[in-house]
Structure 1
Amino acid sequence: MKILFVQKEGGIFGAENYHLKVIPRLLAEGVEVDFLRLYTDYQGGKGGEFINRLNSIGVKTYEVNIGKYPKLGTLKEIRKIANDGYDLVHTHLIHADFYLALIKTFLGLKPVLVSTKHGYDNTFTSKFGFDASKQTNTPYFLLSKWAEKRMKASFTISQGLRNFFIQTGLSKPERMRIIHYGFDMPENYLSKGKEDYRQAPKQIIIAGRLIAFKGHK
């Protein structure tokens, strides 16, 4: 299988760390993975640590400057890359979702299009968390909903995020599944020494913040 990951990137955060963990595992399983990085001159610019780290593990990468608004020439450039023999195009975050949805709708996209949701609008969540009842028809919401309808399937990183997308009407239950981030036990726990973290004979490790939205009460 040949997959193209697509994301706008301006620094290494949650979604980027996800790629740096998942892509090597996919490569080890024999999956061919390329990465299309969308960027702007005012946020990140061309190149950078993330793209260098992908290149260092043998990932073929592309970079396209998307500017502030979608342009036909930019969409055609992305389409040319995406239609180059891939079985699946996997978008991450709203810019990639929207741009590839535009291409699929108006210019033609050959591969299957799917999306992973790593979060939601920071402006909204900083005020309301993930309270679906507070969502109104903001530009972010409307663009997200329009793009989501063009996806073959979507995935969220938590049950709480999936609930939010369904309760707001951004997606339908049958079209959205959960793939948790997870973490590598040897790298994050065992390699640091059991004795440093052993507080009782039996312990439970919880990955995530201890808040109700994450399912912890």
Structure 2
Amino acid sequence: MTEDLKVLHVINIGGYGGAEKLLLQLLPALNQQMVADCLILYKEDNPEAALKIASELRDRKIEVYIYSYRKLLQGSIRKAIRNYAIQGKYDLVHGHLKQADFWLSILKKRGQLKIPVVSTMHGYNDAYENKYGFVIKKSLFFSPYYLVSRSIFRQLDGFILISNIVSEFFNRSGLLPRVSQKVIPHGYDTELIPEVKASLRSLQPRIAIPGRLIRRKGHLYAIEAVRQLKAFFPGITLHIYGDGPERQTLENKVRSEGLDNTVIFHGYVHDLLMSLRDMDVILIPSLWEGFGLVFLDAFAAGVPVVAFDLPAGNEIIRHGYNGLLATPYSSDSLVENIQLLMNDDLLRQKISMAARQELIAVFNMRSMTKAYTEFYKTVLSNYKKNNRQS
């Protein structure tokens, strides 16, 4: 441990998504630089994901506290957060996701938590983003959700934003106050990177699309692309990794297209990376992403990526260098780019190698933890300065 800092990370867990996956890699890395403990809250009738993540964090030597509740608004939640923060003598609290921000903002507003609080901005609101992505519409400013969110954020002391598009959205919309902010992309534990497998042309290409089964992940575009590709590669298969509310819709689509033997639903798999490295192409046709850890999984697997030319994927992928970008919302363009990769061994290997090198050089956990540490210090310094002035 090199820094005399104690940070309590607070998160409400109801499932397994990008924020939860990030914590599993981030906290062990931070814990080598400082004390990085975690308070996990979860609803009593939905404990599975929370307890699983708590167990995985403990396996990685993280101090984990657990608190269950019945209703989001019950006052005992805030009391528990306050008690853990005070008794642990933490210098700073880091909230993850909207429920944690809500509870922490009330504690700050009431003067019951007298240490700085920062939050990571992963995205805004699924209902809005499913319609508009990160485009700011006039209707945004009249939404009760916007007004409540803006009020919550006014109580916090700093914000980490996971991509440039997320930063642009939150600042142009006026959601965030004028306090410390920093764009810090996700890092990746490079020790998890497996050896590269030989990438040879296949007459039966295996295409993977990893991610939660929700509309914005663009699974329908992938299914349509594979339907077209069967004319060129009769033995092609599409492997869908993940689960979610759109599964039934996607299964119905597969049946209606007669693709039952072509599209395989694997559900959630624990060791996704080892599954991905057996693929020929990884397809990420997301309609929008705050960041997209799945891009880094693909880089680590050593498999070339085809994605839509949309945020924040186009902040990570540089077309023709570390991946290919297709025309947004076009299955035809996905087909063209997949064919390009499948017909050119040299291009596929060049892209895979460049992506892996960029993962190691740019998106590594060392760079991320350094940026977090510097940001925490800035927030603490500003907080102490403001308190002296007041």
TM-score by length of 2: 0.49
> Could you give the per-residue CA deviations for residues 52-88 of structure 1, whole angstroms, max 9, x where no partner exists?
1111122222222343332233322221112220011
2:260 is aligned with 1:162:
no
- Superposition deviation, residue 186 in structure 1: 5.3
Which residues in structure 2 correspond to 1:25-174 (within 5 Å)? 25-29=29-33, 31-44=34-47, 47-84=50-87, 85-133=89-137, 134-172=139-177
> Could you give the per-residue CA deviations for residues 98-117 of structure 1, whole angstroms, max 9, x where no partner exists?
10110111151132111111
1:214 alignment counterpart: 312
1:14 and 1:74 mapped to 2: Cα distance? 24
Q: Percent identity?
A: 29
Q: CA RMSD in A?
A: 2.5
2:126 and 2:65 mapped to 1: Cα distance? 27
2:115 is aligned with 1:17:
no
> Could you give the per-residue CA deviations for residues 152-189 of structure 1, whole angstroms, max 9, x where no partner exists?
1101100001111011110146632101013244534x
Q: What are structure 2's unaligned runs of at least 5 residues?
A: 201-294, 297-304, 315-324, 326-390
- Superposition deviation, residue 194 in structure 1: 6.3
User: Residue 147 of structure 1: SS of its match in structure 2?
Assistant: helix
Aligned residue type for 2:150? K
- 1:39 and 1:45 in contact (8 A); partners too: no
User: Residue 132 of structure 1: SS of its match in structure 2?
Assistant: coil
User: Residue 142 of structure 2: SS of its match in structure 1?
Assistant: coil
1:139 and 1:78 mapped to 2: Cα distance? 26
- Identify the range of structure 1 (109-118 vs 158-167) with the bigger mean alpha-carbon deviation: 109-118
Q: What are structure 1's unaligned runs of at least 5 residues?
A: 198-205
User: Residue 145 of structure 2: SS of its match in structure 1?
Assistant: helix
2:61 and 2:191 mapped to 1: Cα distance? 24
1:5 and 1:169 mapped to 2: Cα distance? 26
Q: Judging changes above 3 Å, is the alpha-carbon distance between structure 1 residues 19 and 215 closer, same or farther for their aligned structure 2 residues? A: closer
Structure 1 runs of 4+ aligned residues shifted over 6 Å read: none
Aligned residue type for 1:35? C
- Superposition deviation, residue 136 in structure 1: 3.3
- 1:132 and 1:168 in contact (8 A); partners too: yes
Aligned length: 207
2:23 and 2:77 mapped to 1: Cα distance? 24
Which residues in structure 2 correspond to 1:167-206 (within 5 Å)? 167-172=172-177, 175-185=180-190, 187-188=192-193, 191-193=194-196, 195-196=198-199
Q: Judging changes above 3 Å, is the alpha-carbon distance between structure 1 residues 105 and 174 closer, same or farther for their aligned structure 2 residues? A: closer
- 1:38 and 1:63 in contact (8 A); partners too: yes
- 1:90 and 1:113 in contact (8 A); partners too: yes
Structure with larger Rg: 2
